[in-house]
Structure 1
Amino acid sequence: MSRLSAVLRALVLPVAAVVAVASAPLAQARPEPRPPKEFVALSDVDPTILQEMRYFTPHNFTGHRVDGYRRPLCLLTRPAADALHEAQRALLRRGYGLKVYDCYRPQRAVDDFVAWAKDLDDQRMRAEFYPRVAKSRLFLDGYIAEKSGHSRGSTMDLTIVKLPAVPTRPYIPGESLVSCYAPKEERFPDNSVDMGTGYDCFDTLSHTADPRVQGAPRANRMLLKSVMEKAGFANLAEEWWHYTYRAEPFPDTYFDFPVSRRPAP
């Protein structure tokens, strides 16, 4: 091959490669899953229910905003949201209201929990959320699982507030932590009534009917349980805050669309 031919070949090959790449069909990005029409924003059904969406913030047991929470928004299936509206009406007549901490939870958020639980070196929130449980036991003790009823869209975590409710102050990452079962006046300030522990407290004291929880905290738990059961919900016995609508429309489907856009009412 002559020197001139070699030079021309060196110039032509890169151009041909660029043309080939440009001519290839563009890879199609996988579309983001969207909520089915049966999902609604709770605020469209009942704007009087307070929302403090903890997993949108770093004030949760992971210490970071959880994957999949792009807006601080409670999404639920329509039947669950309507039933929650009935529970709210019952409480409003008594001078109380509901506050939700979590509602629909995408599978990617559950996966985030699982990854966090496997990282035994990340203990930054232990002093508040699981001071008496070794992180290595969170799976064995059932605090973390690879599937969650929240992903089916009819489960929520919630509490009761006395009205008018004073807003809860923002959590400051790195601030001193107090155990979730400390007396209410010592725990992170929450505008809910005293339930005996804080939300997401990984401890047996969070069991709804734990006999060690007495007085006003027990009465508050029983009030929430009574109102929610009359509205068609079932409580998870290990968590005073966890309720599922019994007639949930998707009992076997675990969704993964992000908590972002507001579905139409």
Structure 2
Amino acid sequence: MHELIPDIVIDLKYASTDNFTGRPVPGYENARAVLTREAATALKSVQDQLRPLGLGLKIFDAYRPQRSVDYFMGWAADKDDNQGKAIFYPSLDKEEIIPRGYLASPSGHSRGSTVDLTLIRRSDDSELDMGTCFDFFGPASRTDYSLISETQRSNRMFLQKIMNGWNFSGIAEEWWHFTLKNEPFPTHCFNFLSGEMVKPLTGQEREP
């Protein structure tokens, strides 16, 4: 993604310990932010529109290998592993995470046209206040959640508006989650390591 959008800020949470599992996620070794060419091109248009406003995009996740999704499902089944509970799901029992739709297999991320992101100020790369952290499992992450400040609500609505304007659709449950509307691989989940990629997804990466 940096090749197409050099000034985009990338902070792949699952390549670090700063995520709900508390550890780097298998499949994110030497990870790069990868998207299909169509999604990356649309995201470039979003960044181009934000730049004159002194704003930009910060990417938390993009393409996600199926092996990483499988790891998440195994993590969710381990009732004893609650390292990230205090930050990411303080009011939720772990066994509720999958039934409530916070994790799912297959994941749209594995199709290469889904991205998790937020808005930042280009002057210092600070994030606009959206009311919750990325990957907060709870009702406060709903795009239309009402018990947040006017500023937080306005920031969420602006993010939705600008992403929708470039052919991305959000979801009700997560203010940060967007998928390209006419995604090129709507039925195929990829499983290659993103660190092996040097250009946008074209479909030639399909595995048997």
CA RMSD, 1 decimal: 1.0
Q: Is the 2:128–2:155 Cα contact (8 Å) retained in structure 1?
A: yes
Task: Note if 1:63 corresponds to 2:22.
Answer: yes
Q: Distance in 2 between matches of 1:229 and 1:132?
A: 31
Q: Is the 2:31–2:193 Cα contact (8 Å) retained in structure 1?
A: no
Question: 1:198 maps to which residue?
Answer: 133
Question: 2:184 maps to which residue?
Answer: 249
Displacement after TM superposition at 1:264 (Å): 3.6
Aligned residues: 200
Q: Distance in 1 between matches of 2:24 and 2:103?
A: 17
Counterpart residue type for residue 194 of structure 2? V
Higher Cα Rg, which structure: 1
Task: Note if 1:112 corresponds to 2:71.
Answer: yes
Give 2:95's match in structure 1, choosing from 136, 152, 161: 136
Q: Distance in 1 between matches of 2:149 and 2:165?
A: 23
Q: Distance in 2 between matches of 1:84 and 1:105?
A: 17
Residues 72-118 of structure 1, C-alpha deviations (whole Å, 9 max, x = no match): 41000000000000001111111100000000000000001001000
Q: Distance in 2 between matches of 1:255 and 1:91?
A: 30
Q: Is the 1:159–1:192 Cα contact (8 Å) retained in structure 2?
A: yes
Q: Normalization by structure 1: what TM-score? A: 0.74
Question: What SS does the corresponding residue of 1:76 show, helix, strand or coil?
Answer: coil
Displacement after TM superposition at 1:70 (Å): 1.5
Residues 16-35 of structure 1, C-alpha deviations (whole Å, 9 max, x = no match): xxxxxxxxxxxxxxxxxxxx
Task: Note if 1:161 corresponds to 2:102.
Answer: no
Q: Is the 1:154–1:248 Cα contact (8 Å) retained in structure 2?
A: yes
Q: Distance in 2 between matches of 1:230 and 1:157?
A: 17
Gaps of 5+ in 2: 201-208
Counterpart residue type for residue 6 of structure 2? P
Q: Distance in 1 between matches of 2:61 and 2:100?
A: 21
Q: Distance in 1 between matches of 2:124 and 2:180?
A: 26
Map residues 25-36 of structure 1 onto 2, 5 A cutoff: none
Q: Which of structure 1's runs of 4+ aligned residues deviate more than 6 A?
A: none
Question: 1:176 maps to which residue?
Answer: none
Q: Normalization by structure 2: what TM-score? A: 0.93
Q: Is the 2:35–2:112 Cα contact (8 Å) retained in structure 1?
A: yes
Map residues 96-107 of structure 1 onto 2, 5 A cutoff: 96-107=55-66
Q: Is the 1:52–1:72 Cα contact (8 Å) retained in structure 2?
A: no
Structure 2 vs 1, CA of residues 48 and 121 (structure 1 numbering), >3 Å: closer, same or farther? Answer: same
Q: Is the 1:101–1:158 Cα contact (8 Å) retained in structure 2?
A: yes
Q: Which has the higher contact order (CA 8 A, sep 6+)?
A: 2
